[in-house]
Amino acid sequence: MNLKQKIRVIEDFPKKGISFKDITTLIKDGKAFKQAIKSMAEIIQHKEVDLITGPEARGFIVGAPLAYELGVGFVPTRKKGKLPGKTVEAEYKLEYGSDIIEMHKDAIKPGQKVVVVDDLLATGGTIFSTVELVER
């Protein structure tokens, strides 16, 4: 199954000049979603991994089932103000602006091996900011 064919592309969303990759068409297809998660797990299953982290919101969609498939924990990164307790934050740029993400300060211990996932890469800003939080 070609998973790329399961992803709908919406032009000029959320603003003109952006080609938005809509994964809802992939995740509503149970077989395609399962294959996508299994394919990601196969890439990292032989690596030493303690945790998976993914940014809100679509990083949760692939990150949590991937962590489950691998038998490891999942650490969410969320938009500023959404997590209770002490957090660390990082600013990132989007194709259409900027935002701040946070992670619980105690979510990752020194030396833990963490894989950062998201549904897709556009500018890479969200992933780079998530990596910055992991490294703190």
- Give catalytic residues, as residue numbers: 58, 95
The percent helix, strand, coil of the chain (3-state, each to 5) is 35, 30, 35
Distance (Å, whole) CA 49 – CA 96: 33
Where are the alpha helices (H) located in the chain, listed in sequence order? 24-27, 30-44, 58-70, 125-135
